[in-house]
């Protein structure tokens, strides 16, 4: 719903009755009409303008979304924010989780809350994929005591307000425009969330006292067209194959800058094709499941000369352990009053599974679990951002915080399929 104030047209009188009124009544009606117009304009000027990003710089849907954040402030709302972020264990930390209604965000928020940390979520609930799934994740988190503030990471006032209420020790920044192929359809949304949004968040964090430590989601896609496997953090990352990858790579460079100038402690996590219960419907394993069950054919990509396309699919619980490990080993930021006082930590880790599986094998596993034969439509890997394979070297994360993935694709997909059947059993539609 749009909160835009009514246009003058909405105050138009019924024609018939208007023309038969005495003159003084007509003037009164005119006066009332113009007073409404005036008040409406004042309202827009004083209360709306600061939160609306320039329409030329943003897609309209984002502008509309950011209006909602102004429903936020208020005593009851602040109380919910405080209560959600309250630390409940002796060595706990207080974490602002951006993208908390997203797939990884929901799981990470729940895990932090379970161990007694203070957790506050932030999410703009955009409609890149079915927002009802995000609402269902929100309901799940609410039952564990995590409140998700509805707002955009581009909203400076909102971010500042949250930091005013809670002195977050950490930010787990998972809000992003995800998806490799969608970048060709809506490039602006990647710039808006992954670049402008990230910079905005860092700007707010750098001026806090104390500054929080930041852990954030980069992507395996930064390895782009590299052919040397497994991918190591020391490898080049200067040939991205999609705008999505380019914005994540830009994020890594931006992180370097904020670490260098302001002393922010920053840890980037390169996730490798994360899957599992409560996952993202735009990802292949998810919509393959939906379409196999519907009897619809599924496009399976293959590289030139029938080359195998493979991914280092990583199960969500392993990713959550990696996120918590990174958070727990993150050192404090060193800046104060917006100025760096000493060198701060800057890290990037691969969080993968270390065993790539061909997409055709992913489909075979789904066929066995669903007990339905897939209608396979083998097609050439489109040139829209997909890379042929990914494979993580995880030794750095292993040495720094004992990261060790435990779930193979067969077992992980089994858990996903169980969740999927259960979640969509009550007539809900698995549309994107
Ligand atoms: O690792 C990552 O960092 C990235 O992982 C995924 O990207 P991707 O690996 O492309 O995941 P899917 O879109 O689920 O594709 C998985 C595999 O299925 C293949 N695929 C996809 C779609 C399709 O119709 N057919 C098909 O064969 C892809 O080529 C790919 O090999 C996520 O979508 C990204 O947001 C994330 O950043």
Closest by CA position to 138, among listed 83, 194, 97: 97
Closest by CA position to 149, among listed 198, 103, 109, 178: 109
Q: Which atom of ligand 1 is nearest to the CA of 301?
A: 27
- Whole-number pLDDT of residue 1: 32
The more confident residue out of 11 and 423 is 423
- Whole-number pLDDT of residue 412: 98
C-alpha of residue 180 to centroid of ligand 1, in Å: 7
Nearest protein Cα to ligand 1, atom 36: 273
- Whole-number pLDDT of residue 4: 29
32: confidence class by pLDDT, cuts 50, 70, 90: low
38: confidence class by pLDDT, cuts 50, 70, 90: low
Active site residues: 244
Pocket test for ligand 1, best of 273, 303, 358, 379 (most atoms within 8 A of CB): 273
Mean pLDDT over residues 394-420, rounded? 98
Helix axes 359-370, 284-294, angle to 10 degrees: 50
- Whole-number pLDDT of residue 27: 55
**pLDDT(55) > 60:** no
Mean pLDDT over residues 282-291, rounded? 98
Nearest protein Cα to ligand 1, atom 25: 300
428: confidence class by pLDDT, cuts 50, 70, 90: confident
Nearest protein Cα to ligand 1, atom 4: 273
Asked if ipTM goes beyond 0.85, one says yes
Closest by CA position to 228, among listed 380, 396, 393: 393
- Whole-number pLDDT of residue 35: 58
C-alpha of residue 431 to centroid of ligand 1, in Å: 18
Nearest protein Cα to ligand 1, atom 22: 284
C-alpha of residue 166 to centroid of ligand 1, in Å: 37
Phi, psi of 133 (to 5 degrees): -70, -40
Pocket test for ligand 1, best of 269, 285, 303, 311 (most atoms within 8 A of CB): 311
Tokens at 218, concatenated: 């980069």
- Whole-number pLDDT of residue 227: 95
User: Which range is least confidently modeled, 43-52, 203-212, 406-415?
Assistant: 43-52
C-alpha of residue 273 to centroid of ligand 1, in Å: 6
Mean pLDDT over residues 344-358, rounded? 98
- State how far the Cα of 299 lies from the Cα of 376, in Å rounded to an integer: 6
- Whole-number pLDDT of residue 373: 98
Q: Which atom of ligand 1 is nearest to the CA of 275?
A: 14
Residue with tokens 């995880």: 394
Q: How would you classify residue 161: left for phi > 0, otherwise alpha for psi between -120 and 50, otherwise beta?
A: alpha
**pLDDT(187) > 70:** yes
Closest by CA position to 387, among listed 283, 250, 239: 239
Residue pair 288/374 in contact (Cβ under 8 Å)? The answer is yes
C-alpha of residue 363 to centroid of ligand 1, in Å: 13
**pLDDT(427) > 90:** no
Largest CA distance in the chain: 86
Mean pLDDT over residues 304-311, rounded? 95
Residues near ligand 1 with C-beta < 6 Å?
A: 178-180, 219-221, 271-273, 283-284, 299-301, 309, 311, 359, 386, 390
pLDDT (tens digit per residue) in 76-106: 999 999 999 999 999 999 999 999 999 999 9
Nearest protein Cα to ligand 1, atom 16: 284
Q: Which atom of ligand 1 is nearest to the CA of 389?
A: 31
Mean pLDDT for all residues in the chain:
87
Residue pair 122/96 in contact (Cβ under 8 Å)? The answer is yes
Give the count of beta carbons closer than 10 Å to the beta carbon of residue 77. 15
- Whole-number pLDDT of residue 200: 98
- State how far the Cα of 111 lies from the Cα of 322, in Å rounded to an integer: 12
- Whole-number pLDDT of residue 37: 54
Residue with tokens 């293959």: 302
Closest by CA position to 377, among listed 359, 393, 394: 359
**pLDDT(387) > 90:** yes
- Whole-number pLDDT of residue 12: 28
- State how far the Cα of 136 lies from the Cα of 129, in Å rounded to an integer: 13
- Adjacent-strand bridge partners of 358: 310
DSSP 215-259: EEEEEGGGGTT--SSSB-TTS-----SSHHHHHHHHHHHHHHHHH
Closest by CA position to 123, among listed 153, 144, 94, 154: 153
Give the count of beta carbons closer than 10 Å to the beta carbon of residue 424. 14
DSSP 306-335: GBPPEE--EEHHHHHHHHHHHHHTPPPP--
pLDDT (tens digit per residue) in 193-232: 999 999 999 999 999 999 999 999 999 999 999 999 999 9
C-alpha of residue 389 to centroid of ligand 1, in Å: 10
């Amino acid at each position: 719903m749009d909160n835009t104030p009514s246009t003058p047209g909405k105050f138009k009188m019924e024609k018939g009755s208007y023309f038969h009124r005495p003159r003084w009544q007509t003037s009164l009606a005119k006066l009332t009409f113009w007073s409404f117009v005036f008040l409406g304009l004042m309202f827009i000027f004083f209360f709306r303008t600061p939160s609306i990003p320039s329409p030329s710089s943003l897609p309209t849907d984002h502008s509309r979304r950011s209006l909602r954040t102004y429903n936020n402030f208020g005593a009851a709302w602040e109380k919910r924010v405080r209560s959600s972020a309250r630390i409940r264990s002796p060595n706990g930390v207080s974490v602002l989780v951006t993208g908390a209604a997203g797939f990884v965000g929901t799981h990470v928020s729940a895990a932090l809350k379970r161990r007694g940390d203070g957790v506050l979520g932030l999410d703009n609930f955009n409609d890149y994929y079915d927002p009802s799934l995000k609402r269902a994740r929100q309901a799940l988190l609410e039952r564990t005591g995590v409140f998700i503030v509805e707002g955009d990471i581009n909203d400076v006032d909102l971010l500042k307000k949250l930091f005013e209420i809670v002195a977050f020790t950490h930010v787990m920044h998972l809000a992003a425009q995800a998806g490799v192929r969608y970048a060709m359809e809506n490039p602006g949304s990647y710039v808006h969330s992954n670049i402008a949004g990230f910079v905005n968040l860092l700007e707010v964090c750098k001026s806090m006292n104390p500054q929080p430590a930041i852990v954030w989601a980069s992507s395996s896609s930064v390895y782009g067209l590299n052919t040397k496997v497994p991918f190591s953090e020391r490898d080049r990352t200067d040939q991205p194959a999609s705008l999505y990858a380019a914005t994540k790579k830009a994020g890594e460079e931006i992180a370097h800058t904020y670490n260098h100038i302001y002393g922010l402690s920053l840890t980037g996590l390169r996730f490798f094709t994360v899957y599992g219960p409560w996952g993202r419907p735009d990802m292949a394993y998810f919509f393959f499941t939906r379409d196999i069950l519907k009897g619809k054919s599924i496009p399976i990509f293959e590289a030139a000369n029938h080359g195998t396309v493979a991914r280092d699919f990583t199960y969500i619980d392993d990713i959550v352990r990696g996120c918590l490990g990174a958070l727990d080993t993150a050192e404090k930021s060193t800046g104060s009053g917006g100025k760096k006082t000493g060198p701060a930590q800057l890290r990037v880790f691969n969080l993968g599974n270390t065993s790539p599986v061909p997409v055709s094998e992913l489909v075979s596993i789904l066929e066995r679990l669903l007990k339905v034969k897939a209608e396979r439509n083998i097609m050439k890997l489109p040139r829209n951002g997909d890379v042929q394979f990914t494979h993580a070297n995880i030794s750095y994360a292993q040495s720094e915080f004992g990261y060790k993935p435990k779930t193979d694709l067969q077992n992980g997909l089994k858990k996903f399929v169980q969740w999927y059947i259960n979640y969509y059993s009550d007539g809900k539609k698995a549309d994107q």
